């Protein structure tokens, strides 16, 4: 008996069998059940998502001998003929091989004649965007004034190449890529009905390699069964696809989590022996980082159980608690950008290694820590508690900066304290609007390597690039050139030097007005002449006299 490919054998025969395209199926079913049928339909989407399959089911629904409905019987002569590709009133054309105007005219010449066997004469033109401009013009004339017994079903993977005059005369349905979980579910159903022993990891690999195409997934399943001699094993599928073992990806991620460069380079050496596609490795690493980010934000329950293998969930949860969320986001961005830049690297491995080393270089664990001294500037021995035994070795600093960190970045003494922010900014070498920006800022946190400032939303206009640059330069003069200054705009106003000064000025004005009102001369003028003190006239003297 002739073997039938799984992609053909398991092609949906009814709308109910179509997976993942509910938005298209629902519209077509409603149109069929109501009898309000347009004369031209355009199905768009990537390969293998069901464009021509849905079109063929629609043809059966139109020409089923029982009735026009969303549920063709599938057993009448019309339904069977359409399934077998020999229905005389169903003309399926590949526009990629018949692009000329003569082909289009020959095809449409018979449109004026009534159907020979069915209710409607249906034209299915696949890859319609391949038609030439004259061919589109010939098709357009028939689309403008179609006979009542003719329906046009157009399918394409590139709707942008179709003239707008044609698009405007069609109902357009965009078929989406199928989710990975939907493909896995379908592959599981096929394997169960075919009596195939399949490992879940192998199905996930095939579904991921299909990239949203159900037809590609079934074709890969056929290939994997041939490779595995009728069985579907995860190791065989990985070897067939040339995909990387997930264990090696998790090993890379574990080394990155602790910024262990030697271990990371050792893993790269092991990878190089397998001659992998380094772009795919970075893509897999980015996927794992995305899953870690999901765990950090929404918990392990939010993970897609189909994309996250069960034995990896514990590792993802552990890494989510070990690596800061902002570090995960940075690593993800480096992985994505590194994949893009592989073509510019001297060779793929070099570009891959540099992407990983970039993740390590920007990892917080690699940054210099407080209380770090070097042998040239301070003694190695740290202060010991009085009760420490004499025989116990001297305590060493817990963290040492990497040798490559410039000396200007490593503080050699106690950093300037910005606790009294008002007094601190008074000594800054800035003036004008930059000093105004400093006065409207408040300190959120300070470390030897970072200063976080916040600015209330009302004064957010001060945070221009020029003023920010000037203030940052002045702050680094006092705090050290390696200090990173971060600015943020807060919804809730903070207690800033400007706010404190404004409060002091208000108190001074209030006291001044009270003193003026209590002055005997002022009171006498008020009683005799009905004089009145104007509160707004009492102002602070911008240049008060100096006392000698």
Residues 226 and 318 occupy one common structural domain? no
Higher pLDDT among residues 98 and 105, named by residue? 105
pLDDT digits (tens, 9 = 90+) for 38-81: 999 999 999 899 999 999 999 999 999 888 889 998 889 999 99
Instruction: Calculate the CA 459 to chain-centre distance.
Output: 32
Count how many domains the chain has.
4
pLDDT digits (tens, 9 = 90+) for 72-90: 988 899 999 998 888 988 9
Higher pLDDT among residues 174 and 394, named by residue? 174
pLDDT digits (tens, 9 = 90+) for 509-548: 777 777 777 787 777 777 777 777 777 676 666 555 554 4
* pLDDT at site 408: 38
Residues 265 and 230 occupy one common structural domain? no
Strand partners, 44: 156, 174
* pLDDT at site 114: 86
The whole-number average pLDDT for the span 233-242 is: 83
CATH code, domain with 41: 3.40.50.300
**76 domain-assigned:** yes
Separation of alpha carbons 305 and 231, rounded Å: 23
* pLDDT at site 370: 43
pTM: 0.57
**409 domain-assigned:** no
Cβ–Cβ contacts within 10 Å for residue 437, how many? 23
Separation of alpha carbons 442 and 433, rounded Å: 16
* pLDDT at site 27: 93
Q: What angle do CA 198, 201, 206 make, to 5 degrees?
A: 80
Residues 270 and 362 occupy one common structural domain? yes
Residues 339 and 435 occupy one common structural domain? no
Secondary structure (3-state) at 526: helix
Secondary structure (3-state) at 155: strand
Q: Which of 56, 67, 53, 68 is nearest to 18 (CA)?
A: 53
Where is the domain boundary, 174, 190, 213?
174
Say if CB 334 and CB 264 are below 8 A apart.
no
CATH code, domain with 305: 1.20.272.10
Say if CB 458 and CB 487 are below 8 A apart.
no
**1 domain-assigned:** no
Residues 318 and 434 occupy one common structural domain? no
Say if CB 434 and CB 471 are below 8 A apart.
yes
* pLDDT at site 544: 56
Separation of alpha carbons 181 and 126, rounded Å: 28
Q: Which residue segment(s) compose the domain that 354 sits in?
A: 246-366
pLDDT digits (tens, 9 = 90+) for 219-231: 999 999 998 888 8
pLDDT digits (tens, 9 = 90+) for 369-419: 444 334 333 433 333 444 444 434 444 444 444 433 333 334 444 456 787
In DSSP notation, 290-358 reads: HHHHHHHHH-GGGS-TTTS-HHHHHHHHHHHHHS-HHHHHHHHHHHHHHHHHGGGSSSHHHHHHHHHHH
98 pLDDT tier (thresholds 50, 70, 90):
confident
**251 domain-assigned:** yes
Q: Which of 278, 288, 280 is nearest to 256 (CA)?
A: 288
35 pLDDT tier (thresholds 50, 70, 90):
confident
Residues 205 and 250 occupy one common structural domain? no
Residues 263 and 346 occupy one common structural domain? yes
Residues 361 and 505 occupy one common structural domain? no
* pLDDT at site 152: 92
pLDDT digits (tens, 9 = 90+) for 276-326: 889 989 998 998 899 899 988 887 777 765 445 555 677 888 888 888 888
pLDDT digits (tens, 9 = 90+) for 436-483: 888 888 888 888 788 888 888 888 888 888 888 889 989 888 888 878
pLDDT digits (tens, 9 = 90+) for 312-371: 677 888 888 888 888 999 999 999 999 999 999 999 999 999 999 999 988 876 654 444
| 240, containing H or E segment | helix 234-241
Cβ–Cβ contacts within 10 Å for residue 194, how many? 14
Separation of alpha carbons 161 and 159, rounded Å: 5
Instruction: Calculate the CA 312 to chain-centre distance.
Output: 21
* pLDDT at site 384: 41
Residue in the block written with tokens 């009596």: 195
Residue in the block written with tokens 């006239």: 537
**12 domain-assigned:** yes
Separation of alpha carbons 263 and 251, rounded Å: 9
* pLDDT at site 331: 93
Q: Specify the DSSP class assigned to residue 282.
A: H
Residues 452 and 519 occupy one common structural domain? yes
The CA dihedral of 207, 312, 329, 264, to the nearest 10 degrees, is: -110
Rg (CA), the chain: 37
Tokens of 255: 């080394």
Residues 361 and 467 occupy one common structural domain? no
Q: Specify the DSSP class assigned to residue 398.
A: S
Kindly tell me if the per-residue pLDDT of 175 is higher than 90.
yes
Cα–Cα distances (Å) from 67 to 38, 60, 464, 471, in that order, read 18, 10, 70, 78
Residues 202 and 268 occupy one common structural domain? no
Separation of alpha carbons 410 and 421, rounded Å: 23
pLDDT digits (tens, 9 = 90+) for 498-520: 888 777 777 777 777 777 777 87
**391 domain-assigned:** no
Q: How many residues does the chain have?
A: 548
Separation of alpha carbons 28 and 173, rounded Å: 10
Secondary structure (3-state) at 118: coil
Residue in the block written with tokens 């939907």: 182
Secondary structure (3-state) at 489: strand
Instruction: Calculate the CA 262 to chain-centre distance.
Output: 30
* pLDDT at site 304: 63
CATH code, domain with 215: 1.10.8.60
Separation of alpha carbons 482 and 32, rounded Å: 70
Separation of alpha carbons 231 and 226, rounded Å: 8
CATH code, domain with 527: 3.30.300.150
Q: In what order do the strands lie in the sheet with 121-126?
A: 90-94, 121-126, 150-156, 40-44, 171-174
* pLDDT at site 393: 41
The whole-number average pLDDT for the span 155-174 is: 91
Residues 34 and 168 occupy one common structural domain? yes
* HSE of 535, CA atoms in CB hemisphere, 13 A: 7
Q: Specify the DSSP class assigned to residue 198.
A: B
């Amino acid at each position: 008996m002739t073997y039938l490919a799984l992609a053909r054998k398991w092609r949906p025969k009814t709308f109910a069998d179509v997976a993942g395209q509910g938005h298209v199926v629902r519209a077509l079913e409603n149109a069929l059940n109501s009898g309000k049928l347009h004369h031209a339909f355009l199905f768009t989407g990537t390969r293998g998502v069901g464009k021509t399959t849905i079109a063929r089911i629609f043809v059966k629904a139109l020409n089923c001998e029982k009735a026009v409905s969303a549920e063709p019987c599938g057993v009448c002569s019309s339904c069977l003929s359409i399934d077998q590709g020999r229905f005389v009133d169903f003309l399926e054309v590949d526009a990629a091989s018949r692009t000329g105007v003569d082909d289009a005219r020959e095809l449409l010449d018979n449109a004026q004649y009534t159907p020979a066997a069915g209710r409607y004469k249906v034209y299915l033109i696949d890859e319609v965007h391949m038609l030439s401009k004259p061919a589109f013009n010939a098709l357009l004339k028939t689309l403008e004034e179609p006979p009542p017994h003719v329906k046009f079903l157009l399918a394409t993977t590139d709707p942008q190449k179709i003239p707008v005059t044609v698009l405007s005369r069609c109902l357009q349905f965009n078929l989406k890529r199928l989710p990975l979980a939907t493909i896995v579910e379908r592959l599981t159903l096929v394997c169960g009905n075919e009596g195939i022993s399949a490992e879940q990891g192998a199905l996930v690999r095939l579904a991921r390699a299909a990239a949203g195409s159900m037809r590609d997934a079934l074709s890969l399943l056929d290939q994997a069964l041939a490779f595995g001699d009728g069985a579907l094993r995860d190791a065989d599928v990985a070897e067939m696809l040339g995909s990387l073992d997930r264990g090696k990806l998790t090993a890379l991620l574990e080394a990155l989590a602790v910024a262990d460069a030697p271990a990371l380079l050792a893993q790269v050496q092991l990878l190089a022996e397998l001659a992998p596609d380094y772009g795919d490795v970075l893509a897999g690493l980015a996927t794992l980082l995305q899953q870690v980010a999901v765990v950090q934000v929404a918990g392990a329950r939010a993970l897609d159980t189909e994309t996250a293998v069960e034995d990896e969930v514990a590792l993802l949860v552990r890494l989510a608690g070990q690596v800061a969320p902002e570090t995960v986001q940075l690593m993800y961005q480096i992985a994505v950008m590194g994949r893009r830049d592989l073509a510019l690297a001297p060779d793929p491995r070099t570009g891959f290694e540099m992407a990983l080393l970039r993740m390590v270089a920007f990892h917080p664990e690699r940054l210099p820590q407080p209380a770090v001294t070097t042998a040239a500037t301070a003694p190695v021995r740290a202060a010991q508690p009085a009760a420490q035994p004499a025989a116990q070795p001297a305590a060493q600093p817990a963290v040492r900066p990497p040798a490559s960190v410039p000396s200007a970045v490593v503080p050699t003494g106690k950093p300037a304290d910005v606790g009294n922010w008002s007094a601190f900014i008074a000594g800054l070498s800035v003036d004008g609007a930059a000093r105004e920006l400093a006065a409207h800022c408040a300190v959120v946190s300070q470390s030897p390597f970072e200063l976080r400032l916040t600015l209330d939303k009302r004064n957010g206009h001060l945070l221009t690039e020029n003023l920010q640059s000037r203030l940052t330069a002045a702050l680094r003069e006092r705090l050290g050139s390696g200090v990173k200054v971060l600015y943020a705009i807060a919804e809730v106003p903070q207690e800033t030097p400007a706010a404190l000064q404004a409060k002091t000025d208000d108190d001074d004005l209030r006291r001044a007005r009270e003193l003026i009102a209590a002055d005997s001369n002022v009171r006498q003028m008020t009683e005799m002449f009905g004089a009145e003190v104007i509160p707004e006239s009492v102002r602070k003297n911008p240049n008060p006299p100096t006392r000698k």
